Amino acid sequence: MTKVLYITAHPHDDTQSYSMAVGKAFIDTYKEKNTDHEVVHLDLYKENIPQIDVDVFSGWGKLQSGKGFDELSSEEKEKVARLGELVDQFVSFDKYIFVTPFWNFSFPPVMKAYIDAVSVAGKTFKYTAEGPVGLLTDKKALHIQARGGVYSEGPAADFEMGHRYLSIIMQFYGVPSFEGLFVEGHAAMPEKAQEIKENAIARAKDLAHTF
Ligand SMILES: Cc1cc2nc3c(=O)[nH]c(=O)nc-3n(C[C@H](O)[C@H](O)[C@H](O)COP(=O)(O)O)c2cc1C
C-alpha cells in the first residue's frame, strides 16, 4: 500500500494560513482520489522534534564508544530514541508533502530540526568512496509554500532559501521527483490576494490527481 506522509510546519490551521489552506485542498483531493493509500499527518508544531543538543551528542557518543542504550541518561535515551523513531517513520513512507510558510526567506525552525532528525547516514543517505549517495531513490515529494512576496521569478528570486534548501536535501536523499507549489505575492498585492489563493487551491487540486 502506498504510504503518504503529510508534514506540516505551521502553528495555524487552514482558516488562518495560505499554505495550510492550499495543503488541505491538496491532501483532501488526494485522499478522495486514492482511497486505498495510507495518509498520515505529521504536525511538527505538535510533535516532539528534539534538537541536536548536548544530550543527543553525549548519547550518540556513548553508543559510538560501545556503551549500551541502557547506559544513557534518561534525557539522552528519550531524545536519541525519538530521533531514531522520526527517521524510521520517514523512510517507511513512499511520498512526502511538506507544507511550510515562508519566514525570513526560509521555513520555520522546526522544519530545520526535522531535517536534522531525518538526515541520518545509513537511513536517508550513505557515505561511499565517491562521496555521499542518497538512499530514497523510490520516493516522491512536494513542497507547498506561501510567500507574501514574489520569489519564483524577478529581483527577489535569489532570496528564496526555503524551497531551494529543501530541494538540495531531497537531492541529497536521492529523491528523484520533487515539485514546488507556491502561493505568492498576496502580501505585496493585497487587492489580488483572494484570486492568488483561489488560483493556488485550484492548482493544488489538479496536482493531487497526478501526484
Ligand atoms: C515571521 C514572518 C516572517 C516573514 N518573512 C517573509 C519574508 O521574508 N518574505 C516574504 O515575502 N514574506 C514574509 N512573511 C509573510 C509570509 O510569507 C506570508 O504571510 C505567508 O502567507 C505566510 O504563509 P501562511 O499564510 O501559510 O502563514 C513573513 C511572515 C512572518 C509571520
| 198-209 mean pLDDT | 98
pLDDT of residue 101: 98
Distance between Cα 111 and ligand 1 center (Å): 15
| 144-167 mean pLDDT | 97
Distance between Cα 185 and ligand 1 center (Å): 10
pLDDT of residue 64: 96
| 6-15 mean pLDDT | 98
- Please tell me the residue having the least CA distance from ligand 1 atom 1: 103
User: Is the pTM value of this prediction over 0.95?
Assistant: yes
Give the side-chain half-sphere CA count within 13 A for 199.
11
Dihedral angle, C-alpha 46, 113, 58, 80, nearest 10 °: 50
Of the residues 16, 17, 105, 147, which should be mutated to test ligand 1's pocket, given the most ligand atoms within 8 Å of the CB?
147
pLDDT interval class at 76 (50, 70, 90): very high
Distance between Cα 31 and ligand 1 center (Å): 28
Distance between Cα 147 and ligand 1 center (Å): 5
DSSP assignment string, 167-196: HHHHHHHT-SEEEEEEEE-TTT-GGGHHHH
pLDDT of residue 44: 98
| 75-93 mean pLDDT | 98
Look over the chain and give the mean of its residue pLDDT values, rounded to a whole number: 98
pLDDT of residue 42: 98
Pocket of ligand 1 (CB under 6 A): 10, 17-20, 101-105, 146-149, 187
Q: Which residues pair with 42 in a beta bridge?
A: 7
Among candidate residues 164, 81, 169, 83, the one with its CA nearest the CA of residue 125: 169
| pLDDT tens-place string over residues 37-57 | 999 999 999 999 999 999 999
Among candidate residues 165, 173, 100, 112, the one with its CA nearest the CA of residue 139: 173
Q: Which domains are delineated in the chain?
A: 3-208 (3.40.50.360)
Alpha-carbon distance 1 to 21, whole Å? 27
| 58-68 mean pLDDT | 98
- Please tell me the residue having the least CA distance from ligand 1 atom 23: 101
| 182-194 mean pLDDT | 96
- Please tell me the residue having the least CA distance from ligand 1 atom 22: 101
- Please tell me the residue having the least CA distance from ligand 1 atom 30: 103
Among candidate residues 184, 183, 185, the one with its CA nearest the CA of residue 200: 183
Distance between Cα 199 and ligand 1 center (Å): 19
pLDDT of residue 202: 98
pLDDT of residue 52: 98
pLDDT of residue 200: 98
